[in-house]
Amino acid sequence: MVEACCLLTAFVFIFSGFTKAVDPQGGAIKIGEYLNTFGLSISDDGVLLQLLSVLESTFEFVLGVHLLLGLRRKIASVLSFVMMLFMTVLTLYIYVTGKISDCGCFGEALHLSNRDTFLKNILLLAFTTVTLFFPDRIVSVLNKGPHRGVQLYSLLFVLLVSLWSYHYLPLVDYRPYYIGQDIPGAMSIPAGAQAPQYKTTFILEKNGERKEFTLDNYPDSTWKFIDSRTEEVSPGYKPEIYDFAVFSDKDEEVTHDILHQKNYFFWLIFPRVETTDNGEIDAIGDIYDYCRRYNYGICGLTSSSHQAAEAWEHSAGIRFPFYYADETMLKTMIRSNPGVMLVKNGKILNKWGKNALPDEDSLTSALGKLSLTYGNVSHGMTSTIKWLLLFFIPLIFRIFAGRISVSLRNRRKKRANNIIGKQDLIKNNNTMRKKIVAGNWKMNMNLQDGVALAKEINEVCKADKPACGVIICTPFIHLASVAAILDQNVVALGAENCADKEKGAYTGEVSAEMVKSTGAQYVILGHSERRQYYNETPEILKNKVALALKNNLKVIFCCGETLEEREAGKQNEVVKAELEGSVFNLSAEEWKNIVLAYEPIWAIGTGKTATADQAEEMLAYIRSIVADKYGKQAAEDTTILYGGSCKPSNAPELFSKPDIDGGLIGGASLKAADFKGIIDAWKK
């Protein structure tokens, strides 16, 4: 259920992030519209909105990839919830007020009504609420290694798509003016269908006074044209292109004329001629000269005033007929100012943005002989699927390659582990680290019961040889008696603590030397119960570790975070500080006698086990910081155990993880059958 919610949200985010990324200028226009409803008027041609548009699509896409692959699950689920909460409130607002007719949540790829968008967002909000509460149940598809690479790959992919689309034209054209489109065909209404009615409003100015006019009451030429807009006044059958309308400088409609030119026709589109990029004047001049040479049609299309168009012609020193149209329509036709369309008989043959205009180097002979008359048709859902597949295929390969290499590594290790044997648990041989299951009896068992339990464990392990090293760590009073009955080639012995002082007047304490003299080989240090109830600080533990090693005891050093620390996302920080405070001071030689045990405090004795993925994530992190400190090989050779409600039922899954080398077992080590059940997990 959690995974289903997460995957659905992920796919929606990836799709909507991509559809927006391919059209950063469209995104800027939409953000501008939203801001306008709150009284903020910012030009969508400006850097700010373009930047916001790229950031928004990048964020959404990368977040979707995180959810899909289970990366940074906690933060990804919080961010998706916050985002959906914001979007739901926003779409409720536009649904209620009707201030925006199209939410733009899938860019131009898919248009939903405000009601449908709101319902979709409610659903996504519910999904993200589920993942917010159970982020740990999101399946993590990747092993630890490639996380960074995958994050970077998705970030780079979506950014490149945005930047390419911004610099040239949208990578995928979702708008109806794509290359190959037959505009008159896309405007036609089937016989008998009722056409929607539109009203075009013109904004004109005279003597500082601005007024709105329609075609019916259009005033005389003493009024200066400022702007125009076309609105639907009564609904009807809406063809794919329904708003294409072009006017001459006498305000006569010339739509039919410009759509039915039999010869090649270059449309130079300047949504607003005042803000057009004049760096392209030379290239426009080349197109103009080319049209004259070969007798091709050329015209300008703009939503600006006649005066502004004339001013542009004057400054550019080029003259061709200018026609006038709605700004939104022009921006829909081409996301560039200026942009060029090559049209013949109303069919779009090619499109160029301002950064890739054809110039004298490419306009070398008649169009029939050039490849300019068929641009790359890349539009609609098929292209979207193609690009998304292009994104996913390397990712899928990476995931499978990672999985195969981990499973091969595990198989090799398992085989080697069986061959090497289990006697010398801490003998470093540079080939592989030891698998260990260690029991921690804590303050349980009187002497007689403890000896009986040790005997039973010793016998079952001798009868059925473990595929891992086995250690039992007992209270001090058991050590000597248990040492006497254990075959330490099969079951090694350890203490649960030792003093931080060498010897002397420390009533009640037991020194490392004393522990060693009982026959024990190990000592557990840094257990959270000792840190918590006996105030063992990193400094005290550092002394204990030093004394244990000095007395040839091997140390099982514990670290782990509290529930609050995990909830605050501080687990890595906490564990790192614990290791730095007590064991990262050791020499490389001393380090060989350290076994680490990661024990999340919230999982100790609570019955609440960390999931295998959580444990693996932490152990891989711990191994990475050991590598930073002692080098890769030392990290590979370090045995790291997981501890916290480990049982025969969950041990096989935990031990199947590449970085988990066994367990430190509390409660379940007090019954020989349970303890043996966990030991046997290494045979599965």
Provide the minimum distance between the beta carbon of 75 and ligand PEP in the complex, in angstroms, as a whole number: 27
Among residue numbers 511 through 540, which ones bind ligand PEP (CB under 6 A)? none
Q: How far apart are CA 104 and CA 95, in angstroms?
A: 13
CA atoms within 13 A on the CB side of 499: 14
* Nearer to ligand PEP among residue 94 and residue 438 (C-beta): 438
For strands 209-213 and 522-525, give the pairing: unpaired
**Among 574, 542, 540, 539, residue whose Cα is nearest residue 560:** 574
Greatest C-alpha distance within the chain:
114
**Among 166, 163, 158, residue whose Cα is nearest residue 45:** 166
* Nearer to ligand PEP among residue 329 and residue 646 (C-beta): 646
* Nearer to ligand PEP among residue 90 and residue 492 (C-beta): 492
* Nearer to ligand PEP among residue 269 and residue 472 (C-beta): 472
Of the listed pieces 17-25, 274-282, 350-358, 597-605, which binds ligand PEP according to CB under 6 A?
597-605
Per the DSSP assignment, residues forming a β-bridge with 283 are none
Q: Three-state DSSP class for 235?
A: coil
Binding ligand PEP (rule: CB under 6 A), the pick from 599, 617, 637, 661 is: 599
Interface pattern 382-421 for ligand PEP (x via CB under 6 A): ----------------------------------------
Of the listed pieces 7-15, 21-29, 598-606, 676-684, which binds ligand PEP according to CB under 6 A?
598-606
Q: 3-state SS string over 660-680?
A: CCEEEECHHHHCHHHHHHHHH
Per the DSSP assignment, residues forming a β-bridge with 216 are none
Of the listed pieces 173-181, 286-294, 599-607, 621-629, which binds ligand PEP according to CB under 6 A?
599-607
Provide the minimum distance between the beta carbon of 506 and ligand PEP in the complex, in angstroms, as a whole number: 25
* Nearer to ligand PEP among residue 171 and residue 457 (C-beta): 457
Q: Would you call 167 a catalytic residue per the annotation?
A: no
Provide the minimum distance between the beta carbon of 432 and ligand PEP in the complex, in angstroms, as a whole number: 24
* Nearer to ligand PEP among residue 28 and residue 604 (C-beta): 604
Provide the minimum distance between the beta carbon of 639 and ligand PEP in the complex, in angstroms, as a whole number: 15
* Nearer to ligand PEP among residue 14 and residue 493 (C-beta): 493
Among residue numbers 601 through 630, which ones bind ligand PEP (CB under 6 A)? 604-605
Classify residue 532 as exposed, middle or buried by CB count within 10 Å of its CB (0-12, 13-18, 19+): exposed
Number of residues that bind ligand PEP (CB under 6 A): 13
How open is the CA angle 495-497-503, to the nearest 5 degrees?
105
Q: How far apart are CA 433 and CA 623, in angstroms?
A: 12
Of the listed pieces 221-229, 534-542, 632-640, 663-671, which binds ligand PEP according to CB under 6 A?
663-671
Among 527, 578, 616, 617, the active-site one is 527
How far apart, in Å, are the Cα atoms of 343 and each of 165, 210, 270, 321, 388? 22, 36, 16, 16, 30
58 contacts 21 by C-beta, under 8 angstroms? yes
Provide the minimum distance between the beta carbon of 559 and ligand PEP in the complex, in angstroms, as a whole number: 12
Among 536, 599, 616, 617, the active-site one is 599
Q: How far apart are CA 572 and CA 626, in angstroms?
A: 13
Provide the minimum distance between the beta carbon of 668 and ligand PEP in the complex, in angstroms, as a whole number: 6
Q: Would you call 527 a catalytic residue per the annotation?
A: yes
* Nearer to ligand PEP among residue 173 and residue 496 (C-beta): 496
Q: Is position 667 an interface residue for ligand PEP (rule: CB under 6 A)? A: yes
Of the listed pieces 196-204, 282-290, 334-342, 660-668, which binds ligand PEP according to CB under 6 A?
660-668
Among residue numbers 630 through 659, which ones bind ligand PEP (CB under 6 A)? 643-646
Q: Nearest to ligand PEP by Cβ — which residue? A: 666
Classify residue 651 as exposed, middle or buried by CB count within 10 Å of its CB (0-12, 13-18, 19+): buried
Pick left, alpha or beta for residue 409 (phi over 0 → left; psi -120 to 50 → alpha; otherwise beta): alpha
Q: How far apart are CA 575 and CA 189, in angstroms?
A: 69
598 contacts 639 by C-beta, under 8 angstroms? no
Q: Three-state DSSP class for 531?
A: helix
* Nearer to ligand PEP among residue 586 and residue 646 (C-beta): 646
Element holding 343 (H helix, E strand): strand 339-344
* Nearer to ligand PEP among residue 617 and residue 674 (C-beta): 674
Q: How far apart are CA 122 and CA 88, in angstroms?
A: 6
Provide the minimum distance between the beta carbon of 520 and ligand PEP in the complex, in angstroms, as a whole number: 17
Provide the minimum distance between the beta carbon of 657 and ligand PEP in the complex, in angstroms, as a whole number: 17
Provide the minimum distance between the beta carbon of 445 and ligand PEP in the complex, in angstroms, as a whole number: 14
DSSP notation for 469-486: EEEEEE-HHHHHHHHHH-
Tokens of 313: 């012609």
Binding ligand PEP (rule: CB under 6 A), the pick from 223, 666, 672, 678 is: 666
Binding ligand PEP (rule: CB under 6 A), the pick from 172, 340, 665, 678 is: 665
Among residue numbers 479 through 498, which ones bind ligand PEP (CB under 6 A)? none
Provide the minimum distance between the beta carbon of 23 and ligand PEP in the complex, in angstroms, as a whole number: 54
Among residue numbers 426 through 465, which ones bind ligand PEP (CB under 6 A)? 440
Provide the minimum distance between the beta carbon of 667 and ligand PEP in the complex, in angstroms, as a whole number: 3
637 contacts 433 by C-beta, under 8 angstroms? yes
Q: What are phi and psi of 590, to 5 degrees?
A: -65, -35
246 contacts 322 by C-beta, under 8 angstroms? no
* Nearer to ligand PEP among residue 243 and residue 578 (C-beta): 578
CA torsion, points 411, 415, 418, 424, in degrees to nearest 10?
A: -90
How far apart, in Å, are the Cα atoms of 484 and each of 1, 382, 451, 458, 532? 54, 75, 10, 11, 33
Helix ranges, 472-537 (H): 476-485, 512-517, 528-533
Interface pattern 355-374 for ligand PEP (x via CB under 6 A): --------------------
Interface pattern 164-203 for ligand PEP (x via CB under 6 A): ----------------------------------------
Q: How far apart are CA 278 and CA 69, in angstroms?
A: 46
Of the listed pieces 221-229, 327-335, 376-384, 665-673, which binds ligand PEP according to CB under 6 A?
665-673
Query: Which DSSP symbol is given to 526?
Result: S
Provide the minimum distance between the beta carbon of 509 and ligand PEP in the complex, in angstroms, as a whole number: 21
Of the listed pieces 535-543, 584-592, 661-669, 675-683, which binds ligand PEP according to CB under 6 A?
661-669
* Nearer to ligand PEP among residue 105 and residue 492 (C-beta): 492
Interface contacts to ligand PEP, rule CB under 6 A = 440, 599, 604-605, 643-646, 664-668
Active site amino acids: 527, 599
